[in-house]
Amino acid sequence: KFLSLKNLEDLSLEEKEKYYQMVKEYCDSLKINIESKKISKKLISLLAPHLRNYKLEIYGDENIPKDDSAIFICNHSNSHDFFTTQEVFHELNRNVTPFGASDCLSFISLQMFKLGDVTLIDRDSKQSSLEGLMNFSKKIIDGEDGIIFGEGTWNLHPIKPMQKIKAGGTQSAIITDKVIIPTIFEYVEVPDVVDKERELYSRCIVQFGKPIIVKPEDNIIQKTKLVENTMEEMRKDLWKKLGIDRNSLDDINQQIYLNHTYLKKFDGFGFEYDSDHEFKY
Protein backbone atom coordinates (compact mmCIF):
# COMPACT_ATOMS: atom_id res chain seq x y z
CA LYS A 1 0.00 0.00 0.00
CA PHE A 2 1.48 3.31 -1.10
CA LEU A 3 1.05 6.11 1.43
CA SER A 4 0.00 9.73 0.94
CA LEU A 5 2.41 12.51 1.91
CA LYS A 6 0.32 13.23 4.98
CA ASN A 7 0.40 9.60 6.14
CA LEU A 8 4.13 9.41 5.47
CA GLU A 9 4.82 12.35 7.76
CA ASP A 10 2.96 10.57 10.57
CA LEU A 11 5.45 7.67 10.51
CA SER A 12 8.47 7.34 12.77
CA LEU A 13 11.93 7.43 11.18
CA GLU A 14 12.23 3.66 11.51
CA GLU A 15 8.84 3.20 9.83
CA LYS A 16 9.77 5.62 7.05
CA GLU A 17 13.04 3.77 6.35
CA LYS A 18 11.20 0.46 6.25
CA TYR A 19 8.52 1.88 3.98
CA TYR A 20 11.00 3.35 1.48
CA GLN A 21 12.98 0.10 1.45
CA MET A 22 9.78 -1.76 0.55
CA VAL A 23 9.01 0.74 -2.24
CA LYS A 24 12.55 0.44 -3.60
CA GLU A 25 12.24 -3.35 -3.61
CA TYR A 26 8.96 -2.99 -5.49
CA CYS A 27 10.65 -0.75 -8.09
CA ASP A 28 13.51 -3.26 -8.38
CA SER A 29 10.97 -5.97 -9.22
CA LEU A 30 9.63 -4.06 -12.25
CA LYS A 31 10.72 -5.27 -15.68
CA ILE A 32 11.96 -2.33 -17.78
CA ASN A 33 14.64 -2.50 -20.46
CA ILE A 34 16.55 0.79 -20.29
CA GLU A 35 18.79 -0.20 -23.21
CA SER A 36 15.97 -0.45 -25.75
CA LYS A 37 15.67 3.31 -26.42
CA LYS A 38 19.37 4.24 -26.62
CA ILE A 39 19.50 4.31 -30.42
CA SER A 40 16.27 6.29 -30.87
CA LYS A 41 17.36 8.76 -28.17
CA LYS A 42 20.66 9.29 -29.96
CA LEU A 43 18.83 9.97 -33.22
CA ILE A 44 16.56 12.52 -31.49
CA SER A 45 19.59 14.22 -29.92
CA LEU A 46 21.15 14.53 -33.39
CA LEU A 47 17.88 15.93 -34.78
CA ALA A 48 17.44 18.47 -31.96
CA PRO A 49 20.02 21.08 -33.15
CA HIS A 50 18.14 21.37 -36.45
CA LEU A 51 14.91 22.29 -34.61
CA ARG A 52 16.36 25.33 -32.88
CA ASN A 53 17.50 28.67 -34.21
CA TYR A 54 19.52 29.76 -31.19
CA LYS A 55 22.76 28.95 -29.37
CA LEU A 56 22.80 26.32 -26.62
CA GLU A 57 25.12 26.87 -23.63
CA ILE A 58 25.73 24.49 -20.71
CA TYR A 59 27.02 25.60 -17.30
CA GLY A 60 27.48 23.92 -13.91
CA ASP A 61 28.00 20.38 -15.20
CA GLU A 62 30.74 20.01 -12.57
CA ASN A 63 27.85 19.71 -10.07
CA ILE A 64 26.64 16.46 -11.65
CA PRO A 65 27.82 13.19 -10.00
CA LYS A 66 30.42 11.61 -12.27
CA ASP A 67 29.89 7.97 -11.33
CA ASP A 68 26.23 7.86 -10.36
CA SER A 69 22.83 8.71 -11.76
CA ALA A 70 20.85 11.65 -10.42
CA ILE A 71 17.43 13.28 -10.51
CA PHE A 72 17.29 16.61 -12.33
CA ILE A 73 14.34 18.81 -11.41
CA CYS A 74 13.88 21.41 -14.13
CA ASN A 75 11.66 24.37 -14.90
CA HIS A 76 9.24 24.03 -17.83
CA SER A 77 8.91 26.77 -20.44
CA ASN A 78 7.98 25.62 -23.94
CA SER A 79 7.90 22.84 -26.53
CA HIS A 80 11.70 22.84 -26.90
CA ASP A 81 12.29 21.34 -23.43
CA PHE A 82 12.06 17.73 -24.63
CA PHE A 83 14.61 18.28 -27.39
CA THR A 84 16.87 20.38 -25.14
CA THR A 85 16.92 17.50 -22.65
CA GLN A 86 17.89 14.94 -25.29
CA GLU A 87 20.59 17.15 -26.80
CA VAL A 88 22.16 18.30 -23.53
CA PHE A 89 22.36 14.86 -21.90
CA HIS A 90 23.74 13.35 -25.10
CA GLU A 91 26.37 16.12 -25.12
CA LEU A 92 27.25 15.19 -21.52
CA ASN A 93 27.37 11.48 -22.46
CA ARG A 94 24.62 10.58 -20.01
CA ASN A 95 21.58 8.34 -20.47
CA VAL A 96 18.40 10.19 -19.49
CA THR A 97 14.73 9.38 -19.03
CA PRO A 98 12.37 12.37 -18.83
CA PHE A 99 9.12 12.26 -16.85
CA GLY A 100 6.22 13.67 -18.85
CA ALA A 101 2.48 13.87 -19.43
CA SER A 102 0.66 12.01 -22.20
CA ASP A 103 -2.72 13.71 -21.74
CA CYS A 104 -1.75 16.83 -23.72
CA LEU A 105 0.15 15.35 -26.66
CA SER A 106 -0.67 15.03 -30.33
CA PHE A 107 -0.16 11.62 -31.95
CA ILE A 108 3.18 12.68 -33.46
CA SER A 109 4.44 14.14 -30.17
CA LEU A 110 3.35 11.02 -28.28
CA GLN A 111 5.36 8.77 -30.62
CA MET A 112 8.38 11.08 -30.36
CA PHE A 113 8.18 11.04 -26.55
CA LYS A 114 8.02 7.24 -26.54
CA LEU A 115 11.12 7.06 -28.76
CA GLY A 116 12.82 9.49 -26.37
CA ASP A 117 12.23 7.16 -23.39
CA VAL A 118 9.84 9.56 -21.66
CA THR A 119 8.16 7.93 -18.66
CA LEU A 120 4.59 8.94 -19.50
CA ILE A 121 1.68 9.59 -17.13
CA ASP A 122 -1.89 10.79 -17.42
CA ARG A 123 -2.03 13.76 -15.05
CA ASP A 124 -5.77 13.23 -14.50
CA SER A 125 -5.16 9.76 -13.02
CA LYS A 126 -3.60 9.27 -9.59
CA GLN A 127 -3.00 5.62 -10.46
CA SER A 128 -1.18 6.52 -13.69
CA SER A 129 0.92 9.12 -11.85
CA LEU A 130 1.86 6.58 -9.16
CA GLU A 131 2.74 3.85 -11.66
CA GLY A 132 4.75 6.38 -13.69
CA LEU A 133 6.72 7.47 -10.62
CA MET A 134 7.57 3.84 -9.83
CA ASN A 135 8.70 3.15 -13.43
CA PHE A 136 10.69 6.39 -13.44
CA SER A 137 12.39 5.41 -10.18
CA LYS A 138 13.17 1.92 -11.51
CA LYS A 139 15.00 3.39 -14.51
CA ILE A 140 17.04 5.64 -12.22
CA ILE A 141 17.94 2.73 -9.94
CA ASP A 142 19.12 0.88 -13.05
CA GLY A 143 21.48 3.71 -14.02
CA GLU A 144 19.57 6.31 -16.02
CA ASP A 145 19.43 9.97 -15.06
CA GLY A 146 15.89 11.16 -14.47
CA ILE A 147 14.67 14.61 -15.44
CA ILE A 148 11.33 15.80 -14.15
CA PHE A 149 9.69 19.14 -14.97
CA GLY A 150 8.53 19.79 -11.44
CA GLU A 151 6.02 22.54 -12.21
CA GLY A 152 3.84 20.01 -14.04
CA THR A 153 2.96 22.49 -16.80
CA TRP A 154 4.57 25.40 -18.64
CA ASN A 155 5.30 28.58 -16.74
CA LEU A 156 4.05 31.37 -19.03
CA HIS A 157 3.81 33.98 -16.28
CA PRO A 158 5.40 37.31 -17.30
CA ILE A 159 7.42 37.83 -14.09
CA LYS A 160 7.13 34.73 -11.87
CA PRO A 161 10.36 32.65 -11.99
CA MET A 162 8.68 29.35 -11.05
CA GLN A 163 5.29 27.78 -10.63
CA LYS A 164 4.81 25.58 -7.56
CA ILE A 165 6.97 22.43 -7.67
CA LYS A 166 5.25 19.06 -7.25
CA ALA A 167 6.67 16.55 -4.74
CA GLY A 168 7.22 13.58 -7.11
CA GLY A 169 10.87 14.35 -7.81
CA THR A 170 11.67 14.57 -4.10
CA GLN A 171 9.92 11.27 -3.43
CA SER A 172 11.84 9.59 -6.24
CA ALA A 173 15.12 10.91 -4.82
CA ILE A 174 14.37 9.16 -1.50
CA ILE A 175 13.24 5.94 -3.19
CA THR A 176 16.34 5.77 -5.42
CA ASP A 177 18.81 7.26 -2.91
CA LYS A 178 20.02 9.76 -5.53
CA VAL A 179 20.78 13.46 -5.25
CA ILE A 180 18.60 16.15 -6.79
CA ILE A 181 20.26 18.52 -9.24
CA PRO A 182 18.19 21.74 -9.56
CA THR A 183 18.28 22.70 -13.24
CA ILE A 184 17.25 25.80 -15.17
CA PHE A 185 16.56 25.97 -18.90
CA GLU A 186 16.64 29.72 -19.63
CA TYR A 187 15.45 30.55 -23.14
CA VAL A 188 16.57 34.15 -23.76
CA GLU A 189 13.87 35.86 -25.81
CA VAL A 190 14.55 38.49 -28.46
CA PRO A 191 13.20 41.97 -27.50
CA ASP A 192 10.98 42.23 -30.59
CA VAL A 193 7.62 41.23 -32.01
CA VAL A 194 8.25 38.29 -34.36
CA ASP A 195 6.24 36.25 -36.87
CA LYS A 196 7.36 32.69 -36.07
CA GLU A 197 8.13 30.70 -32.91
CA ARG A 198 11.46 29.82 -34.51
CA GLU A 199 12.46 33.50 -34.23
CA LEU A 200 11.70 33.84 -30.49
CA TYR A 201 15.03 32.99 -28.85
CA SER A 202 18.63 34.15 -29.18
CA ARG A 203 20.12 31.49 -26.85
CA CYS A 204 19.25 28.80 -24.32
CA ILE A 205 21.30 28.58 -21.16
CA VAL A 206 21.23 25.29 -19.24
CA GLN A 207 22.41 25.81 -15.66
CA PHE A 208 22.96 22.90 -13.27
CA GLY A 209 22.90 23.80 -9.58
CA LYS A 210 24.61 22.19 -6.60
CA PRO A 211 23.30 18.77 -5.50
CA ILE A 212 20.56 18.60 -2.88
CA ILE A 213 20.56 15.48 -0.70
CA VAL A 214 17.22 14.04 0.44
CA LYS A 215 16.88 11.42 3.19
CA PRO A 216 13.91 9.42 4.54
CA GLU A 217 13.82 11.54 7.69
CA ASP A 218 13.29 14.74 5.68
CA ASN A 219 9.90 16.39 5.39
CA ILE A 220 9.04 15.94 1.69
CA ILE A 221 7.00 19.15 1.42
CA GLN A 222 9.73 21.24 3.06
CA LYS A 223 12.45 19.66 0.92
CA THR A 224 10.42 20.22 -2.24
CA LYS A 225 9.99 23.86 -1.25
CA LEU A 226 13.78 24.10 -0.77
CA VAL A 227 14.28 22.83 -4.33
CA GLU A 228 11.69 25.33 -5.61
CA ASN A 229 13.33 28.24 -3.76
CA THR A 230 16.77 27.20 -5.01
CA MET A 231 15.53 27.15 -8.60
CA GLU A 232 13.85 30.53 -8.18
CA GLU A 233 17.13 32.05 -6.97
CA MET A 234 19.09 30.37 -9.78
CA ARG A 235 16.71 31.81 -12.36
CA LYS A 236 16.70 35.29 -10.81
CA ASP A 237 20.49 35.21 -10.78
CA LEU A 238 20.52 34.32 -14.47
CA TRP A 239 18.09 37.16 -15.21
CA LYS A 240 20.37 39.57 -13.37
CA LYS A 241 23.45 38.42 -15.29
CA LEU A 242 21.59 38.61 -18.60
CA GLY A 243 20.12 42.05 -17.87
CA ILE A 244 16.54 40.72 -17.96
CA ASP A 245 14.15 42.93 -15.94
CA ARG A 246 11.16 41.02 -14.59
CA ASN A 247 10.77 42.61 -11.18
CA SER A 248 7.25 43.90 -11.79
CA LEU A 249 4.61 44.04 -14.53
CA ASP A 250 5.82 47.57 -15.29
CA ASP A 251 8.99 45.97 -16.71
CA ILE A 252 7.00 43.95 -19.26
CA ASN A 253 6.23 45.18 -22.77
CA GLN A 254 2.66 43.93 -23.15
CA GLN A 255 2.70 43.70 -26.94
CA ILE A 256 5.90 41.64 -26.99
CA TYR A 257 4.73 39.40 -24.14
CA LEU A 258 1.41 38.62 -25.85
CA ASN A 259 3.10 38.03 -29.21
CA HIS A 260 5.72 35.70 -27.73
CA THR A 261 3.22 33.81 -25.57
CA TYR A 262 0.86 33.26 -28.50
CA LEU A 263 3.68 31.84 -30.62
CA LYS A 264 4.88 29.54 -27.80
CA LYS A 265 1.35 28.17 -27.42
CA PHE A 266 0.35 27.77 -31.04
CA ASP A 267 3.43 27.77 -33.29
CA GLY A 268 5.82 25.38 -31.50
CA PHE A 269 6.98 22.07 -32.93
CA GLY A 270 4.38 19.29 -32.56
CA PHE A 271 2.43 20.80 -29.65
CA GLU A 272 -0.31 23.32 -28.90
CA TYR A 273 -0.89 24.60 -25.38
CA ASP A 274 -4.50 24.46 -24.15
CA SER A 275 -4.79 27.00 -21.32
CA ASP A 276 -8.12 25.63 -20.06
CA HIS A 277 -6.66 22.11 -19.82
CA GLU A 278 -3.34 23.19 -18.28
CA PHE A 279 -4.83 25.59 -15.73
CA LYS A 280 -5.72 22.83 -13.26
CA TYR A 281 -2.10 21.65 -13.14
Q: What is the pLDDT of residue 240?
A: 97
Q: What is the pLDDT of residue 144?
A: 97
Q: What is the pLDDT of residue 190?
A: 97
pTM here is 0.96
Backbone angles phi, psi at 100, to 5 degrees: -150, 170
User: How far, in whole angstroms, is CA 128 from its chain's centroid?
Assistant: 18
Alpha carbon distance 173, 271 (integer Å): 30
Q: What is the pLDDT of residue 271?
A: 78
Per DSSP, helices labelled H in 116-219 are 126-141, 168-176
Q: What is the pLDDT of residue 56?
A: 98
* Mean residue pLDDT across the chain: 95
Residue ranges for the chain with pLDDT beneath 50:
none
Could you give the angle at which helices 13-29 and 126-141 cross, rounded to 10 degrees?
80
Per DSSP, helices labelled H in 182-266 are 220-242, 254-266
pLDDT tens-place string over residues 210-263:
999 999 999 999 999 999 999 999 999 999 999 999 999 999 999 999 999 999
Alpha carbon distance 48, 74 (integer Å): 18
Alpha carbon distance 35, 12 (integer Å): 38
